[in-house]
Amino acid sequence: MQQKRRSKALRTTKILHPDRLKKRWEFQRAYQKGRKYLNRYFVIYVFARLQDTPASGARLGITASKKVGKSVQRNRVKRLIREAFRALRPRIHPHYDVVVVGRTPACTLTCQAAQRGLSSLFRRAAILKCEGRC
Protein backbone atom coordinates (compact mmCIF):
# COMPACT_ATOMS: atom_id res chain seq x y z
CA MET A 1 0.00 0.00 0.00
CA GLN A 2 2.73 2.44 0.98
CA GLN A 3 4.72 1.45 -2.13
CA LYS A 4 1.78 2.45 -4.35
CA ARG A 5 1.47 5.85 -2.67
CA ARG A 6 5.18 6.52 -3.01
CA SER A 7 5.27 5.61 -6.70
CA LYS A 8 2.17 7.73 -7.40
CA ALA A 9 3.80 10.71 -5.67
CA LEU A 10 6.91 10.29 -7.80
CA ARG A 11 4.82 10.10 -10.97
CA THR A 12 3.10 13.39 -10.25
CA THR A 13 6.38 15.26 -9.69
CA LYS A 14 8.33 13.72 -12.56
CA ILE A 15 9.47 16.16 -15.25
CA LEU A 16 7.51 15.00 -18.30
CA HIS A 17 8.39 15.55 -21.96
CA PRO A 18 6.13 18.60 -22.47
CA ASP A 19 7.84 20.17 -19.45
CA ARG A 20 11.34 19.97 -20.93
CA LEU A 21 13.13 22.16 -23.43
CA LYS A 22 14.30 19.95 -26.27
CA LYS A 23 14.71 22.02 -29.41
CA ARG A 24 17.76 24.13 -30.17
CA TRP A 25 15.62 27.21 -30.86
CA GLU A 26 14.05 26.94 -27.38
CA PHE A 27 17.50 27.03 -25.77
CA GLN A 28 18.63 29.85 -28.08
CA ARG A 29 15.54 31.90 -27.24
CA ALA A 30 16.30 31.58 -23.52
CA TYR A 31 19.98 32.45 -24.05
CA GLN A 32 19.30 35.48 -26.25
CA LYS A 33 16.04 36.92 -24.88
CA GLY A 34 16.05 35.60 -21.32
CA ARG A 35 17.51 37.07 -18.15
CA LYS A 36 20.78 35.63 -16.86
CA TYR A 37 21.60 34.89 -13.20
CA LEU A 38 24.64 33.08 -11.90
CA ASN A 39 26.41 31.83 -8.83
CA ARG A 40 29.47 29.65 -8.29
CA TYR A 41 27.70 26.43 -9.29
CA PHE A 42 25.04 27.31 -11.86
CA VAL A 43 24.04 29.83 -14.51
CA ILE A 44 20.34 30.13 -15.23
CA TYR A 45 18.58 31.79 -18.14
CA VAL A 46 14.93 32.63 -17.50
CA PHE A 47 12.55 33.40 -20.36
CA ALA A 48 8.91 34.35 -19.70
CA ARG A 49 6.62 32.61 -22.21
CA LEU A 50 3.26 33.97 -23.30
CA GLN A 51 0.31 32.97 -21.13
CA ASP A 52 -1.49 31.25 -24.03
CA THR A 53 1.19 28.66 -24.75
CA PRO A 54 -0.01 25.05 -24.45
CA ALA A 55 2.51 23.90 -21.82
CA SER A 56 1.43 25.84 -18.77
CA GLY A 57 4.05 24.74 -16.23
CA ALA A 58 7.64 25.88 -15.95
CA ARG A 59 9.87 24.07 -18.45
CA LEU A 60 13.46 23.00 -17.84
CA GLY A 61 16.47 22.77 -20.11
CA ILE A 62 19.82 21.50 -18.82
CA THR A 63 23.29 22.09 -20.21
CA ALA A 64 26.56 20.67 -18.91
CA SER A 65 29.44 21.20 -21.31
CA LYS A 66 32.67 19.22 -21.48
CA LYS A 67 34.28 21.91 -19.32
CA VAL A 68 32.38 20.37 -16.38
CA GLY A 69 34.27 17.11 -16.74
CA LYS A 70 33.94 13.70 -18.29
CA SER A 71 30.57 12.12 -18.93
CA VAL A 72 30.20 10.71 -15.41
CA GLN A 73 30.58 14.17 -13.84
CA ARG A 74 28.36 15.83 -16.47
CA ASN A 75 25.60 13.28 -15.95
CA ARG A 76 25.82 13.65 -12.17
CA VAL A 77 25.48 17.43 -12.46
CA LYS A 78 22.46 16.99 -14.74
CA ARG A 79 20.85 14.57 -12.27
CA LEU A 80 21.42 17.03 -9.42
CA ILE A 81 19.86 19.86 -11.44
CA ARG A 82 16.89 17.69 -12.42
CA GLU A 83 16.24 16.61 -8.84
CA ALA A 84 16.59 20.15 -7.44
CA PHE A 85 14.21 21.50 -10.10
CA ARG A 86 11.73 18.70 -9.41
CA ALA A 87 11.69 19.61 -5.71
CA LEU A 88 11.32 23.35 -6.41
CA ARG A 89 8.86 23.05 -9.29
CA PRO A 90 5.63 23.44 -7.28
CA ARG A 91 6.94 26.82 -6.05
CA ILE A 92 7.91 28.12 -9.52
CA HIS A 93 5.50 30.38 -11.37
CA PRO A 94 4.16 28.77 -14.56
CA HIS A 95 4.92 30.08 -18.07
CA TYR A 96 8.69 30.25 -17.61
CA ASP A 97 11.39 28.52 -19.59
CA VAL A 98 14.45 27.93 -17.41
CA VAL A 99 17.80 26.80 -18.82
CA VAL A 100 20.26 25.71 -16.13
CA VAL A 101 23.94 25.49 -17.06
CA GLY A 102 26.06 23.41 -14.70
CA ARG A 103 29.51 24.74 -13.88
CA THR A 104 32.60 22.74 -12.88
CA PRO A 105 32.31 23.21 -9.06
CA ALA A 106 28.79 21.71 -9.17
CA CYS A 107 30.39 18.24 -9.39
CA THR A 108 31.14 18.36 -5.67
CA LEU A 109 27.64 19.39 -4.52
CA THR A 110 25.24 17.32 -2.49
CA CYS A 111 21.59 17.18 -3.50
CA GLN A 112 20.56 19.60 -0.72
CA ALA A 113 23.32 22.07 -1.62
CA ALA A 114 22.28 21.97 -5.29
CA GLN A 115 18.69 22.67 -4.28
CA ARG A 116 19.79 25.61 -2.10
CA GLY A 117 21.93 27.00 -4.93
CA LEU A 118 19.14 26.80 -7.50
CA SER A 119 16.61 28.14 -5.01
CA SER A 120 18.73 31.23 -4.39
CA LEU A 121 19.02 31.86 -8.13
CA PHE A 122 15.27 31.38 -8.62
CA ARG A 123 14.59 33.86 -5.81
CA ARG A 124 16.92 36.38 -7.45
CA ALA A 125 15.11 35.83 -10.74
CA ALA A 126 11.78 36.37 -8.91
CA ILE A 127 10.17 33.24 -10.35
CA LEU A 128 9.34 31.57 -7.03
CA LYS A 129 5.84 31.93 -5.60
CA CYS A 130 5.58 33.63 -2.21
CA GLU A 131 4.55 31.26 0.58
CA GLY A 132 4.08 33.52 3.56
CA ARG A 133 7.49 35.11 2.99
CA CYS A 134 9.34 36.25 -0.10
Is residue 134 included in any domain, yes or no?
no
- pLDDT averaged per 10 residues, the chain (length 134): 51 67 95 96 94 73 94 95 92 92 94 95 90 58
Give me the CATH number covering residue 12.
3.30.230.10
Q: 40 by DSSP, 3-state: which?
A: coil
The predicted structure's pLDDT at residue 20: 87
CA distance 41 to 62: 13
Global pTM value: 0.83
Contact call for residues 57 and 15 (beta carbons, < 8 A): no
pLDDT at residue number 71: 95
Radius of gyration of the chain (CA): 15
85 Cβ contact list (under 8 Å, min separation 6): 15, 60, 98, 100, 118
Q: Is residue 83 part of a domain?
A: yes
* Side-chain half-sphere CA neighbours of 33 within 13 A: 10
What pLDDT score was predicted for residue 11?
A: 47
Domain count of the fold of the chain: 1
Write down the pLDDT at residue 115.
96
Has residue 130 been placed in a domain? Answer: no
Rounded to 5, what percent of the chain is helix, strand, coil?
A: 50, 20, 30
> Would residue 89 count as lying in a domain?
yes
Output phi, psi for 125, to 5 deg.
Answer: -80, -10
* Distance between start and end Cα atoms, the chain: 37
Its domain, for residue 28, covers: 2-125
Q: Examine residue 132 and state whether it is found in any structural domain, yes or no.
A: no
